[in-house]
Structure 1
Amino acid sequence: MTIRALHVASELYPLLKTGGLADVAGALPPALIERGADVRVLLPGFPTVLAGLADLHPIAQLGRRFDTPGVTLERGTLPSNGLVVYVIRADTLYDRSGNPYLDDEHVPYGDNAQRFALLGWVAAQLAQQLDPAWSPQIVHAHDWHAGVAPAYLKAAERQHGRALARSVFTVHNLAYQGVFPAHQFGQLALPDDFFNMYGVEFYGQLSFLKAGLFYSDRITTVSPTYAREIQTLAQGGGLDALLRHRSHDLSGILNGVDYAVWNPADDALLDTHYSATRLAGKLACKEALQKRFGLAQKSDALLFGVVSRLTEQKGLDLLLGAVPEIVKRGGQLVVFGTGDPALENGLKRVAQAHPESVAVELGFDEALAHTIVAGSDVIAVPSRFEPCGLTQLYALAYGSLPLVHCVGGLADTVADASLENLADDLATGFVFERFEPKGLAAAIRRAFALYGRRTEWKAAQRRAMRQDFGWGASAERYLALYRELV
């Protein structure tokens, strides 16, 4: 039997991307379809989403919802692969340029509760034949933006007196919880008793993330280690007791990489291609990167790359402290991303002090991200916590050895270049255990030491490039979960 599943998310690559969530929403549904599932996606009608879909046509008029007139549901397809996408057209809520969540001052929009409640509500309506031609058996909601979808499903089941679709809620990052003032609960049109400790109430406020964790039939997160970590006081974000209580419904399924997009042998965004058997092209990518950022053209300088949100979560404050060590040893560093102004300024100051060795660029651009991953010798992902991390998986595919903190998905995917791992042909990168300057400095020294032994370095590169973190295995696990529920 073919399982019908609706994925509910706020972004999807290549239409709209602010982070890894978009990559997952863009890659997991096609991987499930390849394995025989009937999967569609529901998105808010942000301008780039509407502009990027083909064959958009109305499916249902929803009238006035959440104080917004003229809401309609439309259906279109993603031109690149034919994926069927539902979009909610509600221009007063979604037709805003720039970031989908924040205004020009980087402040969350005041009506985000309504904007994303509508997303969850429409998902539950689709499970009640809103589209007469198709309805899901599984509603798979991603992150806090879609967190109230399982709550609206449970409310609808109570109303109908029977089960509708089953729900899966995936936590991509527990740190983002979608918390709103309690008085906004009244605007959601959920049953009054849902505002409760056993419900959406969270320390006197309203949490969309908690709604997903509490009302969904199953919870997944994006790596096995992160699934264990979020049940602890240190990493549970105030929800660890609920997660421990639901531990039998919680599983960690590692995110995958879309190798159609991330493959150095035929990456459309690179000028020079290379592979595990023909590594020569990687040096040309490195030279191009040094040139692009105005660094000294030294082919033998160990080049560290960072493509990341510049936040404390990503451990870039720790990395900032290690820059003098990298420079002293003759290494180079390229940093690309945006985020916390204090970190941006700190990094820029270091770059001004060492223009031949350190370059920092603020912004995000998919092509430049590929250029940095391909041209670097080491990609640094020193995160304090990291649910899965995709950057280290891209780095492995490109033979750019990841330097990572031993947490979450980083711990699950990178093997340290310790003497025993090198002896057993297991090493694929550099892992430090404790989040402190000493630990990071030791990992950086291991990187320089291995780089000095060219034969072993090349062997580690080839080993990294042979790792398979494609979506196949993960999609199979999601399908098994769907089957259990249906």
Structure 2
Amino acid sequence: MRVLQVCAEIFPLLKTGGLADVAGALPAALAQQGVDVRVLLPGFDAILADLTEVAEVATLSAPAGLQGRVAARLLYGRLASCAGVVAYVIDAPDFYHRQGGPYADAAQRPWGDNHRRFGLLGWVAAQLAQGLDSYWHPEVVHAHDWHAGLAPAYLRAAERALGRKLASSVYTVHNLAYQGLFPSGQFSDLALPEDFFGVHGLEFHGRVSFMKAGLYFADQITTVSPSYAREIQGGEQGCGLDGLLRDRRDQLHGILNGVDPAVWHPGHDKLLPARFNQGRFTGKAQCKADLQTQLGLAVDANLPLACVVSRLTSQKGLHLVTQVLPSWLERGGQFALLGSGDAELEAAFRALAQKHPQAVALHIGYDEAFAHRLIAGSDLIWVPSHYEPCGLTQLYGLAYGTLPVVRRVGGLADTVHDTRLETIDTDATGFVFDDFHPAALHHALNKALALWTRRSDWRRVQRRAMQQDHTWDGAAKRYLWVYRWAAGLTSSS
């Protein structure tokens, strides 16, 4: 089966969140299942710089609203840093060669023409389905998140014009809260049929929604965990789209993200000062001592070290952390954070670090190599999210024997099993709480500290956590089944 993955970022070249990790790992896992997979990406500088064996497929004759001053080209090649995956890259200098981030400028103001920049991405996907590359065309177009949300819409528009089916489409929601909303007046730039801007289409409370386009026009929909698939059909997590998602519940599938063991595995992670596995933990102890030294924390193996690797946003529940952290420190715990975001949260964590320099350390920003060392050297990783479609950091924690403390929501509920007296010998892999309240997180941390004092039981839970299979193999098989269903080749699981 020929599958085109359409996304805005890909690890390790460009990453703002978990979407990039999925885009970087899923193609190789699908290839192991016999899928002929290629990716379509915007021509951001880092992506163009990594493209090898480059050939020009076509000069793009896009609709006027999707054109820049310089004609865009579609390039073909392999991404050297992404296991040589075959890629189509849209070289559109006016749209993608900019200072700042992929979605916003250096001051975090969204680019005013994002609807055109990512409309072009969806339009090119549909062009490939129509045979833009005479040597290869997809049977399934798999679009990821709002940036690629128009791909199913352009595909449906082309099929209407031609009077025939071109390709099946699958749309994956990575985070429903980020919907790609634009003023209604910008719809005309997209060159879609006028009737596509309506309740049965892109219109969302008078605005254009790229996310709704994907949800409405795709043949099948996936999201990144079974629990999140259920949650987004309700009012609290549905972000106003819950009615549409309930209508499409028979086409909605929750597929857990995986972890790429080539990138995240303590037994051969070259970013660590020492390697380790579930049978030999001396390397983890060395990682902890090295991390404590690097961060200026008291070097003491007996002090439980907790970490957070996260964007600092309200979604991630980090205001709960600021409220329970003083109690954690009073009981001898240490804490380290890697992330950036909300200015008030950054200031709160800085104040705690200044007050407790030997117990609290911050790294504001993001550093992939340091993320590996931080997770490997910590004893616990906290993920107290208000909502969490899948979550990846708790999966990294499990892989590295760094026990997760999570709220029972979304993918966190699907991947971490609470440690209780009756579960310690069966399925315990971390610590789970329910209420989105500091007292609930505090109770979970009390359980963690109680287990910490029973080191043989702690080690038992660590080993079980590291034994969990969250590789991409199972997810790839599930995606292949969804592709086949979208294409009408199967009708049951």
TM-score (norm 2): 0.97
Identity %, equivalent residues: 57
Q: Contact between 2:291 and 2:373, CA under 8 Å: does it hold in 1?
A: yes
3-state SS of paired residue (1:141): strand
Partner residue in 2 for 1:26: 24
3-state SS of paired residue (1:421): coil
Q: Which string of whole-angstrom CA distances, capped at 9 and with x for unpartnered residues, describes residues 231-250 of structure 1?
A: 00000000000000100110
What aligned pairs does 1:61-460 form with structure 2 within 5 A after superposition? 61-63=59-61, 65=63, 66-68=66-68, 69-80=70-81, 81-422=83-424, 424-460=425-461
Partner residue in 1 for 2:4: 6
Counterparts of 1:263 and 1:461 in 2: how far apart (Å)? 14
Q: CA RMSD in A?
A: 0.8
Q: Contact between 1:308 and 1:314, CA under 8 Å: does it hold in 2?
A: yes
Counterparts of 1:218 and 1:85 in 2: how far apart (Å)? 23
The gaps in structure 2 that reach 5 residues or longer are: 488-493
Q: Which string of whole-angstrom CA distances, capped at 9 and with x for unpartnered residues, describes residues 393-449 of structure 1?
A: 010000000000000000000001111111x32110000011111110000101100
The gaps in structure 1 that reach 5 residues or longer are: none
Counterparts of 1:166 and 1:118 in 2: how far apart (Å)? 19
Q: Contact between 2:99 and 2:106, CA under 8 Å: does it hold in 1?
A: no
TM-score (norm 1): 0.98
Deviation of the 1:82 alpha carbon: 2.0
3-state SS of paired residue (1:167): strand
Q: Contact between 1:47 and 1:97, CA under 8 Å: does it hold in 2?
A: no
Q: Contact between 1:59 and 1:73, CA under 8 Å: does it hold in 2?
A: yes
Q: Contact between 2:38 and 2:87, CA under 8 Å: does it hold in 1?
A: yes
Counterparts of 1:50 and 1:70 in 2: how far apart (Å)? 16
Q: Contact between 2:170 and 2:486, CA under 8 Å: does it hold in 1?
A: no
Q: Contact between 2:383 and 2:394, CA under 8 Å: does it hold in 1?
A: yes
3-state SS of paired residue (2:155): helix
Counterparts of 1:247 and 1:418 in 2: how far apart (Å)? 34
Deviation of the 1:53 alpha carbon: 1.5
Q: Which string of whole-angstrom CA distances, capped at 9 and with x for unpartnered residues, describes residues 267-292 of structure 1?
A: 01112100000111101100111111
Deviation of the 1:63 alpha carbon: 3.7
User: What is the one-letter code of the residue matched to 2:46?
Assistant: T
User: What is the one-letter code of the residue matched to 2:44?
Assistant: F
3-state SS of paired residue (2:314): coil
Counterparts of 1:420 and 1:311 in 2: how far apart (Å)? 35
Deviation of the 1:166 alpha carbon: 0.5
Answer with 68-77 or 404-413: which moved more: 68-77
Runs of 4+ in 1 over 4 A off after TM superposition: none
User: What is the one-letter code of the residue matched to 1:35?
Assistant: Q
Partner residue in 2 for 1:480: 481
3-state SS of paired residue (1:70): coil
Deviation of the 1:485 alpha carbon: 2.2
User: What is the one-letter code of the residue matched to 1:75?
Assistant: Y
Q: Which string of whole-angstrom CA distances, capped at 9 and with x for unpartnered residues, describes residues 78-107 of structure 1?
A: 224221010000000000133111101111
Q: Which string of whole-angstrom CA distances, capped at 9 and with x for unpartnered residues, describes residues 321-365 of structure 1?
A: 111111010000001111111111111111111111111110111
Q: Which string of whole-angstrom CA distances, capped at 9 and with x for unpartnered residues, describes residues 27-81 of structure 1?
A: 0111001110100000000000001121122101114541313111001102242
User: What is the one-letter code of the residue matched to 1:385?
Assistant: Y
The size of the alignment, in residue pairs, is: 483
Counterparts of 1:448 and 1:221 in 2: how far apart (Å)? 34
Counterparts of 1:67 and 1:75 in 2: how far apart (Å)? 20
User: What is the one-letter code of the residue matched to 2:88?
Assistant: Y
